[in-house]
Amino acid sequence: MAIRNFWSMAAAAVGFRLLLVLFGEDLHLASRPEVSTPLTSIRRLAEGYWLKQASMSPYSGSMYHGSPLLLSVLGPLTNKSLIFVAVDFIAAMLIRATGRRLQIARNISLKSLELTEAVSNSVNVSAGDIASLIYLWNPWALVTCVGSCTSPIENLMVVIMIYGACSRLAPLAAFGYVMATHLSLYPAILIVPIILLLGYGPDAPPTKVFRLKSSNASKTDVSDNDKSSSSRDVQQFLWKPVFHFILWMLFWTFYVLLLSSIVLNKVGGLQEMFEKYFFAEVFDFFRSFFLIVFNMNIVFMVLPLAIRLKHRPCFLAFVYTAIVAILKSYPSVGDSALYLGLLGLFANELAEMQFTFFLFFGYIGVSLLSPVMHNLWIWRGTGNANFYFATGLAYTCLQTVLVVESVSSMIKHDRKLRLLVTA
């Protein structure tokens, strides 16, 4: 069931962004630590561009740690916020297209299991429209766009990667993956759901549900054609698109490194980029400790989640994105805007998720308390760092509850399908 007046609501979101860009300079969102980080700050990018124009290395002075390609793309632009408005709109449309592909795959799976009427009677909404509007109207996506940081571009590359994998467009998926990992290292863990998406296709119920349906059909008096069709419903892993993805990934990696070396010609080199860019998120004295703490925690969760949710690779990509937003070294609200938009893709499966009231108002409370506590600590001097730290701790707990409840709800949904098949 599609959402009425979708395009009107999308156009209103774009228009609201334009109004904030033109008349929201007094908000000073670019200086907020929740919006702009040392790795996504547009002011630091301007500093790196100025150094490059002065025939100096953009990584000198420890100000800029981003991609050299962003210097060439965003550096010459005077009003960069308008670019971010277009980037957000493109990302929202790709999320909508991804949701439609997931909806088609969902309907095919339910039809093969003969559960279309049983499930559609409970909930059957256009998840793509919901996810797109959530991303466009998310206050965190709005402030990230107006705050002129590079997070919208990073989010766009992740969305391109997921959309390309859902569509089994290996060149597009590889381009999004290479660019996402080039702009930020953490999306590298998304290689697991991307390979599963390319191999198995979009999300579907567990394989054992189809096998259970096939076994039930074999016990009843059905024709051989029905039995063969039930066995074909079990998705087989296709290696050809995965092989194409790896080849295109190598090609795009070589191409990005070549462009980076051209941009940094005579003002540094790739070696300095790797030293100042990839290792900017840790302190020199505690480098080994921070590398293990910040990165290994993410890696430890990759394999168990992949084993449990391999039949739903797109949902697995959402879970990985949320985990990265929780555990990355320099988190921002732009990271949360991405995974909250992807969460809308599973509105049908997660319709019975618990604690939605608590999570909704918890996110609102944290969003309001964070600038207040920061003001009390930094500007008024009536508070200390613990005030701001407590808000960040509550924010992390809310995200953890959201991830746990969404995974539990998806598992319950799959269990419900299995019970309906046996019934």
Of the ranges 30-34, 174-178, 229-233, 272-276, the best mean pLDDT one: 174-178
Q: What is the pLDDT of residue 232?
A: 44
What percent of the chain has a predicted confidence (pLDDT) above 90?
39
Boundaries of every domain in the chain: 6-44+80-354
Q: What is the pLDDT of residue 124?
A: 64
What's the chain's average pLDDT?
A: 84
Q: Which residue has the tokens 């994105």?
A: 321
DSSP state string for 114-157: T-HHHHHTT----HHHHHHHHHHH-HHHHHHHHTTBSHHHHHHH
Return d(Cα 338, Cα 321) in angstroms, integer: 8
Dihedral, CA atoms, 229, 234, 239, 240, nearest 10 degrees? Answer: 40
Return d(Cα 316, Cα 404) in angstroms, integer: 12
**Better pLDDT: 348 or 154:** 154
Whether pLDDT at 193 is above 50: yes
Q: What is the pLDDT of residue 311?
A: 87
pLDDT one-digit tens code per residue, 230-242: 444 556 788 999 9
Q: What is the pLDDT of residue 33?
A: 84
Whether pLDDT at 257 is above 50: yes
Q: What is the pLDDT of residue 59?
A: 81
Which long-range contacts link 22-26 to residues 24+ away (Cβ below 8 Å)? 24/146
**Better pLDDT: 379 or 15:** 15
pLDDT one-digit tens code per residue, 101-120: 998 888 888 787 777 666 66
Under 8 Å between Cβ of 147 and 32: yes
E strands in 251-377: none
